[in-house]
Amino acid sequence: MINERTDSTDSLWTNPRIWFWAVVCAVLLPLVFLEDGQIHVFFKSHRTPPLDAMMHFLTRMGGGWVLALGALVLFGIGWWWKDLKLKQVGVRGLLAMGVSGLLVQVIKHLVGRPRPRLADRGIFEWGATFQRGHDSFPSGHAISAFAMAAVLSCYFPAGRWIWYSIAALVAFSRIYVGAHYASDVIFGAILGVGVGFWVNRLKLEQLKS
């Protein structure tokens, strides 16, 4: 049943840890934004072959489509084993990926922030556009990874640090490979957690049986 989730979201808005991290992110984001260029240059000039391979692997595995496929597999296993929890994780994971994908695309093209590779060529203009490369803010990988981490943490709280650590590594990989600025990733992570919490609160009555 829906109340079989081991990590209830009923007290979400009264959880002091949530508010603590919300304040930390609210303070951190503008500070990081001011240093985006320097952070990008630092990682661009400190890449190493072993880290390159690891970060490119993480960035491929952390995409929304890959995570959606993983959620679909969980649902399939739950259906086959008649495991209600796995079915709900799969459905909520798919919902989280769908909402994250739609939300991030709307924001990306409304903001129109040039990706670092364009800024490296002197292109800095922001603004609503569908022009290729003007879709840096926020990070789609970060929102997807953290949304999935929030869903998994709700049902498997013992692994919370594992889920969020993996999400953080995926998000960091986007900075390392030069696909995003640090502020793109932080804002994406905040949105992802919010989407995950929201999806966890949805009632899935049709999956109770």
pLDDT band at 205 (very low <50, low <70, confident <90, very high): low
- CA distances (Å), 199 to each of 93, 118, 150, 203, in order? 8, 35, 9, 9
pLDDT, position 184: 97
Higher pLDDT, residue 117 or 24: 117
Dump pLDDT digits (tens) for 151-183: 999 999 999 999 999 999 999 999 999 999 999
pLDDT band at 5 (very low <50, low <70, confident <90, very high): low
Q: Determine if the pTM surpasses 0.85.
A: yes
Which residues in 91-115 are b (16+ Cβ under 10 Å) and which e?
bbbbbbbbbbbebbeebbeebbbbb
State in words which class domain 10-207 has: mainly alpha
- Residue 131 near residue 108, CB atoms below 8 Å: no
Cα–Cα dist 66/63, whole Å = 5
pLDDT at 12 over 80: no
DSSP code, position 113:
P
Tokens 């209830």 belong to which residue?
8
pLDDT band at 8 (very low <50, low <70, confident <90, very high): very low
How much of the chain, in percent, has pLDDT values that exceed 70? 89
Dump pLDDT digits (tens) for 97-146: 999 999 999 999 999 999 999 999 999 999 999 999 999 999 999 999 99
pLDDT, position 194: 92
pLDDT at 204 over 90: no
Calculate mean pLDDT across residues 14-42: 84
In degrees to the nearest 10, what's the CA dihedral of 198, 199, 205, 206? 160
pLDDT band at 46 (very low <50, low <70, confident <90, very high): very high
pLDDT, position 22: 73
pLDDT at 52 over 90: yes
pLDDT at 4 over 50: no
Calculate mean pLDDT across residues 61-68: 94
